[in-house]
Amino acid sequence: MASNTHRYRILISYDGTDFFGWQRQPNKTQTIQGLLENCLAQIYNQSIALVASGRTDRGVHALNQWAHFDLPEPLTSDLRYKLNRMTPESIVIKELHEAPKDFHAQISALSKCYKYRILTTPVKNPFLERYTWQPGRPLNVEYLQELAETLLGEHDFSSFQSQGTPVTSPVRKMLVSRWVVKTSGILEYQVKGTGFLKQMVRNMVGTMLKLEQLQAPKQELRDILGARDRTLAAAPAPAQGLFLTSVQYPQALDNKCRKL
């Protein structure tokens, strides 16, 4: 980054249904990063890189995703308004902030929160099809709650890491891991962690529901976690139930940002 550039961060909400995930794809497939970078390139007549807190997979949603970018000149116009006019209605820029140069959407992130929504009613709901997993059966919440507690704390999460994105360490710390009963038959898994491996939340949810269906001893989840073997866990829960809900940054960095 040249020293004379100006850093900004944006808060983005997107319905991931019709996108191939966050990350730009070389073959011009529709992605959120690709689409937004194209808008910035069109506005500034140069390529401007957008760095998010992390990728979201194909079909996964974000209520609050942060990303930063650098401009050669300070902003003089309402860029948030401009971007919202250019993007499809499935992507909304909620906020735009001036950010300090040491703010980095991915590296500065302390933790992230996700929720996974499941509709448990026997009759499906067409209006929630894009935003829930609908297994069509009731779930044993008490059992699931005990499984969720097993995942709390620091662990090697290799058993819940899908292939494809190598990381230096598979150890992550879960600060929140709980099931919450919502209205209208919706059950929500809420998880907060210092970081997440590829498809980790979906793999955890898929495995918890599989164990619940099999009425397996609760110890099995601990065994799967301890084995650090991806082949022992179940298939990932479908993408449409997963939402990135928030990303936490150090208070000192947030304080140095200024909403435009």
Query: Which chain residues interact with a second copy by CB under 8 A?
Result: 13-15, 61, 84, 89-92, 94, 123-127, 129, 131
Minimum distance between the CB of residue 135 and a second copy, rounded to whole angstroms?
13
Q: DSSP class of residue 133? A: B
Which single residue is written with the structure tokens 């208070």?
A: 251
Radius of gyration of the chain (CA): 19
Helix ranges, 151-260 (H): 200-214, 219-227, 251-256
Minimum distance between the CB of residue 92 and a second copy, rounded to whole angstroms?
5
Tell me the C-alpha distance between 83 and 36, whole Å. Answer: 8
Minimum distance between the CB of residue 98 and a second copy, rounded to whole angstroms?
19
Task: Closer to a second copy by CB, 128 or 233: give it.
Answer: 128
Minimum distance between the CB of residue 118 and a second copy, rounded to whole angstroms?
15
Task: Closer to a second copy by CB, 132 or 199: give it.
Answer: 132
Task: Closer to a second copy by CB, 124 or 137: give it.
Answer: 124
Q: Which of 15, 18, 57, 78 is catalytic?
A: 57
**What is the DSSP track for 95-127?**
EEEE--TT--TTTT--EEEEEEEEE--SS--GG
70 is catalytic: no
Return the closest-CA partner of residue 196 out of 174, 214, 228: 174
Task: Closer to a second copy by CB, 19 or 179: give it.
Answer: 19
Hey, which residues are catalytic here? 57
